[in-house]
Amino acid sequence: MLLTWLYVPGDRPDRFAKAVAAGADAVILDLEDAVVAGRKAYARDAVAEFLAHPQPLPVQVRVNELTGPDLDADLAAVAGRPGLAGLRLPKVESPATVAAVAARAGTPLHPLVESAVGLESAYAIAAAHPAVASLGLGEADLRSDLGVADDEGLLWARGRIVVAARAAGLPPPAMSVYADVADLDGLAASCAAGRRLGFLGRAAIHPRQLPVIAAAFRPGDREVDRARELLAAVAEAQTRDSGTVVLPDGRFADRAMVAAARRVIDLAARYAA
């Protein structure tokens, strides 16, 4: 139940420790889009050196494309490093490529769907291997592939990713990055829309985005109160040996509502600690 991830270019080792201390739940060191071709080797070495030691929070690495020339070097550099918590796999279009990386990497995998082809195979990708720990959407590339310019054009794609992840038994997915780091109001509105679709959390490209994302996905006081009310009513019904739970506002509570309430309480407790 992590809400915030912070991307850092792999060729900026001066930012690695700062990113870990910036307040995100996890950090992603990016060897792919954030690094130009001529600096790939430098970035790879810098990331490998940083991950030679355990880190206080999860640090993932976004490797280069699975069918490209840099993947072998990426895996050789970072796989097995004490500080590595997982790999982000970009532009995934086939479950076979995910399974092939899983056989070599020995770490949790986080595939990113970034094309129409990948979107059509979203569930198969999510269920490709036990090492798959989450499923994500790379919206910038997908926008280009689909020819859409706004969030409305991605509505179906976002919903498909949420359904595919949950159908494969994975956690709710996190949203893709919001590119305009100055537009915090737009970020908040976008996060709220994503939460209504079933997303949980979001990746950031600047530390100033982290509090906005956390606030958007963290349960509010009213939500927590309603969850506690539901669980208290369930506990009271159990003392009466009754399978019927009616809340004070007249709603009937079923097992799905109970499970959702417990997730709210757990998430609230995590962020209150």
Q: Is 145 annotated as contributing to ligand binding?
A: no
Q: How many CB atoms lie within 10 A of CB 44?
A: 23
Which pLDDT score is estimated for 250? 67
Query: What are 17's two structure tokens?
Result: 């420790």
DSSP letters for 197-251: HT---EEESSGGGHHHHHHHHSPPHHHHHHHHHHHHHHHHHHHTT-S--B-TTS-
61: region left, alpha or beta (phi > 0 left; psi from -120 to 50 alpha): beta
Which pLDDT score is estimated for 264? 85
Q: Is 114 annotated as contributing to ligand binding?
A: yes
pLDDT per residue of the chain (273 residues) written in tens, 0 to 9: 799 999 999 999 999 999 999 999 999 999 999 999 999 999 999 999 999 999 999 999 999 999 889 999 999 999 999 999 999 999 999 999 999 999 999 999 999 999 999 999 999 999 999 999 999 999 999 999 999 988 888 999 999 999 999 999 999 999 999 999 999 999 999 999 999 999 999 999 999 999 999 999 988 888 888 888 888 877 777 676 656 677 666 667 777 788 788 888 888 887 775
Cα–Cα distance for residue pair 88/172, rounded to 1 Å: 16
Which pLDDT score is estimated for 242? 58
- Tell me the pLDDT tens digit for each residue of 84-135: 999 999 999 999 999 999 999 999 999 999 999 999 999 999 999 999 999 9
Asked whether the beta carbons of 219 and 268 are under 8 A apart, the reply is yes
Q: How many CB atoms lie within 10 A of CB 24?
A: 25
Opening angle at CA 77, ends 71 and 81, nearest 5: 125
Q: Is 262 annotated as contributing to ligand binding?
A: no
Asked whether the beta carbons of 81 and 48 are under 8 A apart, the reply is yes
CB neighbour list of residue 56: distance below 8 Å, 6 or more residues apart = 20
State how far the alpha carbon of 12 is from the alpha carbons of 9, 64, 83, 179, 201, in Å.
6, 17, 17, 19, 25
Which pLDDT score is estimated for 3? 94
Using H for helix, E for strand and C for coil, what is the string for 153-173? HHHHHHHHHHHHHHHCCCCCC
Cα–Cα distance for residue pair 6/27, rounded to 1 Å: 5
